[in-house]
Amino acid sequence: MVLVYITSQNGISKSALEAVSYARKLSKEVTVITCGTASEKELAVLGQYGANSILVNRLINGDDQQQVTRLISDFALSLSAETILFSHDFTGKAIAPRLSVRLKAGLVSGAISLPGEDGTIKVNVFSGKAMAHVKVNTPVKIISLLPNSIPLELNESACSIKEIDGDFGATSITIISVKKPEGAIPLPEAELVVSAGRGMKGPENWAIIENLASALGAATACSRPVADIGWRPHHEHVGQTGVAIRPNLYIAVGISGAIQHLAGVNGSKVIVVVNTDSEAPFFKAADYGVIGDAFDVIPKLTEAVIKFKSSNS
Amino acid sequence: MNILVCISKSPDTTSKIAFIENNKVFDENGVQYIVNPYDEWYALVRALELKETLGGQVTIITVGTANDDAIMRKALAIGADEAFRIDADAKDAYYTAYQIGHFAKEKGFDLVLTGKETINFNGSQVGGMIAEVLDLPFISLASKLDIVDKTVSVEREIAGGIQVVEASIPIVISCAKGMAEQRIPNMRGIMAARTKPLQIVTPVSVEELTSYVSFVTPASKAAVKIIDASNMDELVRLLHSEAKVI
Ligand SMILES: Cc1cc2nc3c(=O)[nH]c(=O)nc-3n(C[C@H](O)[C@H](O)[C@H](O)COP(=O)(O)OP(=O)(O)OC[C@H]3O[C@@H](n4cnc5c(N)ncnc54)[C@H](O)[C@@H]3O)c2cc1C
Ligand SMILES: Nc1ncnc2c1ncn2[C@@H]1O[C@H](COP(=O)(O)O)[C@@H](O)[C@H]1O
């Protein structure tokens, strides 16, 4: 059987559904484990993607990863899980490695494929410039799945929800406060991303970028210098030293396409580049290119998107 | 404050990524190695700043071969006090973390810092694994770190936001952007680094849990399709019916 750990404090994310879809491809027996206060109604959606059973611990909230590791480890052992699945997000990155040591089970971190015939799983390495086939040498396997790597698949299953308890030790981490941008789409999960760089000249010019993003229902991102000089918030910075993303569509406006920037976005399925300079290196990595001034092109593109959406709805 | 900083190497970003021996081995020919930027800019520099205000000692450690001595010298030149190299090929994250955990166990470090991830394997695994080997709390992806008495106060990234958390030392923390600013080693640091101790430690015997079987480089992209700047309807049409992304 496959055990899937998901976070549910802020609702069920798309990457959680991806993890369940992936688990279902590995086994017909999929148990989801989570903690916190999500309602049964919220959790039930996991059943539509193939979960047969959901275990929810309401006594801990999931912020202390040492507690969560103990929780998952106990259930992995008592249910004899063959595979334990995480989403390779902020929580997966903190818990999966701990669990790997605790269970002495090999971890494939940032998986982008199902196991192949030889049992190996693909992961991105060298900042997306290559892929590796990784083999797990232990009977129990841990996989953390990179968001946006496999398609969601509906697989309606009869699904039970059960509350669980147990003693997982006192929490060693106290949450003081949380700063969350309201309503924004978390960048690593976004399917469409509009990103801009120094070509925008100044922070006051970002409205056209935000308008395009909102017309598309896209998240916004930026190049590193733009975050460094404070034109845009740090969490928008993509690239080698920022967030790595792999959306379906990445629109890069006024970004030259330095190798360190490409490292964070070259997993995108389709790349559109808008740049005044036809020699900008980004065009070599692009699927579609527009040679032109962002201040002229982007409002026109936004208009075209709005027109398309209204004629298509 | 007694701080251990885990240092790894990564190929300079302009390095050509290629593989040899039937795509089984990374081709190091002509590859220039640098200190992994997260380890250098964020973990090491913050450790030095904490030492400067709180006193104590900054020790660096790597799991690697004699080829890695150069990056250790660089880290010493930036200001670390002492360096250890566990003399082994870092086979996988578990192997690496086990070696570091075993080394750190009886040494009484208040703080173990790692980078957010390595540029070559991008696993984000080693920090959490060290924490479990040492049975310590772990805070991942910290963008700010302060210490008052025995309390650490950390800002960490969570889905689409920032969480401010507190915990007690000893603790393991992985460091991301925001922690500190890059420091360029000066001549004095470089000279001093030559006489600082770089000690070699024999690895303990432990099996790796995963193996890298082979590598592939992605197929090169088809040439870009240029769309006239005055025809954005055409771009939208292509994104919809050809690329099928909107
Ligand atoms: C170790 C290291 C790590 C790094 N990590 C990252 C990282 O993670 N992410 C990252 O992004 N960078 C990173 N960098 C920096 C990177 O090398 C580049 O300097 C940076 O990406 C350039 O940002 P930019 O494209 O916004 O600016 P520029 O390179 O200045 O490019 C601006 C572009 O805008 C175009 N332009 C100008 N006016 C207009 C207009 N009106 N309309 C349309 N286009 C216009 C120009 O032709 C130009 O191509 C890193 C660098 C190093 C050394
Ligand atoms: N061979 C190594 N020696 C010492 N520290 C390492 C080594 N490999 C990784 N680390 C540390 O662990 C962090 C995360 O690495 P990774 O899990 O490979 O992404 C790095 O930023 C380093 O701080």
Residues A20 and A152 in one domain: yes
User: Could you give the number of structural domains in chain A?
Assistant: 2
CATH of the domain at A284: 3.40.50.1220
pLDDT at A156: 85
- Which of B126, B130, B209 has the most A C-beta neighbours within 10 Å, making it the best mutation to test the interface with A? B209
Q: Give mean pLDDT, residues B101-106.
A: 95
Considering all CA atoms of chain B, what is the largest pairwise distance in Å, rounded to the nearest integer? 68
Q: Return d(Cα A224, Cα A237) in angstroms, integer.
A: 5
Q: Give mean pLDDT, residues B148-156.
A: 95
Q: Which of A131, A164, A197 is the last residue before a domain boundary?
A: A164
pLDDT at A283: 96
Q: Which of A241, A251, A303, A246 is nearest to A282 (CA)?
A: A251
Residues A196 and A92 in one domain: no
Torsion over CA: B172, B177, B180, B183 (sign): positive
Residue A183 in this model has a pLDDT that exceeds 80 = no
Residues A214 and A154 in one domain: no
Q: Give mean pLDDT, residues A232-243.
A: 88
pLDDT at B224: 94
Residues A146 and A82 in one domain: yes
CA B58 to chain A, closest CA, distance in angstroms equals 24
Residue A184 in this model has a pLDDT that exceeds 80 = no
CA-nearest residue of chain A to B241? A308
Asked, for residue A178, whether it belongs to a domain, the answer is no
Residues A53 and A13 in one domain: yes
B134 or A166: which carries more pLDDT confidence?
Answer: B134
Asked, for residue A203, whether it belongs to a domain, the answer is yes
Residues A16 and A146 in one domain: yes
Residue B89 in this model has a pLDDT that exceeds 70 = yes
CB contact under 8 A, A134 and B127: no
Q: What is the edge-to-edge ordering of all strands in the sheet holding A30-35?
A: A160-164, A53-57, A30-35, A2-5, A83-87, A141-145, A106-111, A121-125, A130-136, B210-216
Q: Which of A130, A164, A198 is the last residue before a domain boundary?
A: A164
CA B68 – ligand 2 centroid, Å: 13
Residue B191 in this model has a pLDDT that exceeds 70 = yes
pLDDT at B160: 64
The angle, 0 to 180 degrees and rounded to 10, between the axes of the packed helices B187-195 and B69-78 is: 120
pLDDT at A170: 84
Asked, for residue B234, whether it belongs to a domain, the answer is no
CA A46 to chain B, closest CA, distance in angstroms equals 19
pLDDT at A6: 95
Asked, for residue A172, whether it belongs to a domain, the answer is no
Asked, for residue B229, whether it belongs to a domain, the answer is no
CB contact under 8 A, A290 and B229: yes
In chain A, count H helices and then E strands. Answer: 9, 15
Asked, for residue B28, whether it belongs to a domain, the answer is yes
CATH of the domain at B192: 3.40.50.620
Q: Taking CB atoms and an 8 Å cutoff, what residues of chain A touch B232?
A: 290, 297, 300-301, 303-304
ipTM value, please give it: 0.87
A185 or A56: which carries more pLDDT confidence?
Answer: A56
Q: Give the β-pairing of B9-11 and B33-35.
A: antiparallel
Provide the chain B residues 61-120 that lie in CB contact (below 8 A) with chain A.
92-94, 97-98, 119-120
Q: What is the mean pLDDT of chain B?
A: 93
B181 touches chain A (CB under 8 A): no
A4 or B221: which carries more pLDDT confidence?
Answer: A4
Measured CA angle at A177 (ends A176, A179), to 5 deg: 155
Q: Which of A93, A44, A42 is nearest to A68 (CA)?
A: A93
A202 touches chain B (CB under 8 A): no
The ligand 1 site (C-beta within 6 Å) comprises A 197-199, 223-226, 239-242, 254-256, 258, 260-261, 264, 274-277, 280, 293-295; B 13, 37
Q: Give mean pLDDT, residues B224-235.
A: 96
Residues A217 and A130 in one domain: no
Each residue of A77-115: b (16+ CB within 10 Å) or e?
eebebbbbbbbbbbbbbbbbbbbbbbbebbbbbbbbbeb
Structure confidence at residue A182 as a pLDDT band (50, 70, 90): low
Residues A7 and A155 in one domain: yes
Q: Taking CB atoms and an 8 Å cutoff, what residues of chain A touch B17?
A: 126, 129-130
Q: Taking CB atoms and an 8 Å cutoff, what residues of chain A touch B161?
A: 178-181, 235
Our answer on whether the CB atom of B62 is closer than 6 Å to any ligand 2 atom is yes
pLDDT > 90 in chain B, percent: 80
Asked, for residue A78, whether it belongs to a domain, the answer is yes
CA-nearest residue of chain A to B94? A101
Q: Return d(Cα A60, Cα B163) in angstroms, integer.
A: 17
A255 or A63: which carries more pLDDT confidence?
Answer: A255
CB contact under 8 A, B246 and A308: yes
User: Worst-scoring range by mean pLDDT, A88-92, A95-99, B86-90, B227-231?
Assistant: A88-92
List the single residue in A110, A176, A303 with the smallest CB-CB distance to B123.
A110
Chain centroid, CA B184 distance in Å = 18
User: Can you list the positions of beta strands (E) in A61-120?
Assistant: 83-87, 106-111
Torsion over CA: A77, A82, A87, A90 (sign): positive
Residue A220 in this model has a pLDDT that exceeds 80 = yes
**Nearest-ligand number for the alpha carbon of A225:** 1
Residues A90 and A158 in one domain: yes
Cβ atoms B24, B215 nearer than 8 A: yes
Q: What is the residue range of A234's domain?
A: 187-311
Q: Taking CB atoms and an 8 Å cutoff, what residues of chain A touch B217?
A: 129-131
Residue A96 in this model has a pLDDT that exceeds 70 = yes
Our answer on whether the CB atom of B59 is closer than 6 Å to any ligand 2 atom is no
A145: left (phi over 0), alpha (psi -120 to 50) or beta: beta
pLDDT at A181: 66
Structure confidence at residue B234 as a pLDDT band (50, 70, 90): very high
Residue B161 in this model has a pLDDT that exceeds 80 = no
User: Worst-scoring range by mean pLDDT, A180-189, B25-34, B184-193?
Assistant: A180-189
Asked, for residue B235, whether it belongs to a domain, the answer is no
Residues A150 and A13 in one domain: yes
Q: What is the DSSP-derived secondary structure letter of residue A238?
A: B
B217 touches chain A (CB under 8 A): yes
- Which of B23, B117, B132, B136 has the most A C-beta neighbours within 10 Å, making it the best mutation to test the interface with A? B132
Question: Residue type for B143, please?
Answer: S
Residue B49 in this model has a pLDDT that exceeds 70 = yes
pLDDT at B39: 96
Q: Return d(Cα A134, Cα A138) in angstroms, integer.
A: 12
Q: What is the residue range of B42's domain?
A: 2-218
User: Could you give the number of structural domains in chain B?
Assistant: 1
Q: Taking CB atoms and an 8 Å cutoff, what residues of chain A touch B166?
A: 173-174, 176
pLDDT at B72: 96
B30 touches chain A (CB under 8 A): no
pLDDT digits (tens, 9 = 90+) for A128-155: 789 999 999 999 999 999 988 888 889 8
CA A137 – ligand 1 centroid, Å: 42
pLDDT at A267: 87
- B165 phi, psi to nearest 5 deg: -130, 160
Q: What is the mean pLDDT of chain A?
A: 93
CATH of the domain at A159: 3.40.50.620
pLDDT digits (tens, 9 = 90+) for A39-84: 999 999 999 999 999 999 998 888 888 999 999 999 999 999 999 9
Cβ atoms B225, A287 nearer than 8 A: yes
